[in-house]
Amino acid sequence: MIELDTVPPFFADKQELVDEILGRYPEVGKRSAVMPLLWEVQNTERHVSEARIVEIAEILGIHPTEVKGVMSFYSEYHGEPVGTYHLQVCSTLSCSLVGSDQLYDYLVEKLGIVNGETDAEGRFSIQKVECLGSCGTGPVLQVNDIYYERVTRSRCDQLLEALKRDEVPEAWRERGGDNVGAEKAEIVDGAAGLGAAGNADTGEGEG
């Protein structure tokens, strides 16, 4: 509990933010704010410490154990600090069928850490996660909040090198299927169009 006395409170100077979050829910649903409040802390501090759990409990008028109970239910909240770049490798079937197991092994080999670990510098941590909803563009690697899709060996190297220089590339958003814009969707007007419909894969950066 020493932490409680030494760490300055997180929400003390953020009353407006707290009010905005509480205002999203009806009066009866004040407790709904627990997840967004946990997100606010984690987005800034990359994990949620005991002291922050106590703070959130005070805001909501519930017991810290209840906050912790919610937090521990979800796999994205971290009770311990993770690396500056938290690498989340999808390991579910669709990604596995296009190489996510090998991608994970490659990261382990390159970084010298395994699932659940953070490196000595605190730069990288690895977490094997379940389906990220990027099944058509796997294997997918989520770094903090950003998706990098269709990660090949060479692109994986590029990404790690960039992150080592503290350069965070734009999301790699891959395109396929009808996910390519209006013109492509219009092609389908008969048998001849069918094969061409899902071809494009621009992987353009974010606008």
Residues 82-141 binding another protein (CB under 8 A) are: 91-94, 96-103, 106, 129-139
Q: Which is closer to another protein, CB of 51 or CB of 143? A: 143
> Nearest distance from residue 120's CB to another protein, in Å?
26
d(CA 104, CA 107): 5
d(CA 19, CA 117): 36
Least distance CB 157 / another protein (angstroms): 11
Residues 126 and 168: their CA atoms lie apart, in Å, by 17
Q: What residues numbered 9-68 form the site for another protein, per CB under 8 A?
A: 24-26, 28-29, 31-36, 38-39, 60
The rounded distance, in Å, linking the Cα atoms of 64 and 4 is 13
Please tell me whether residue 165 binds another protein under the rule CB under 8 A: no
| Number of residues forming the site for another protein (CB under 8 A) | 75
With b for 16 or more beta-carbon neighbours within 10 A and e for fewer, the 117-136 pattern comes to ebeeeeebbbbbbeebebeb
DSSP codes, 84-95: SEEEEEE-SHHH
Exactly one of 3, 58, 69, 170 binds another protein (CB under 8 A); that residue is 69
- Site residues for another protein, window 173-192 (CB under 8 A)? 175-182, 184-186, 188-191
Strand order across the 85-90 sheet: 124-129, 85-90, 141-143, 146-148
- Tokens 């501090």 sit at which residue? 45
Min CB(158)–another protein separation in Å: 14
- Output 5 or 70, the one with its CB closest to another protein: 70
Sole window of 5-13, 73-81, 114-122, 160-168 interacting with another protein (rule: CB under 8 A): 73-81
In the complex, what is the shortest distance from the CB of residue 34 to another protein, in angstroms, rounded to a whole number?
4
Q: Which of 74, 109, 121, 165 binds another protein (CB under 8 A)?
A: 74
Report the sign of the C-alpha dihedral through residues 133, 134, 136, 139, in that order.
negative
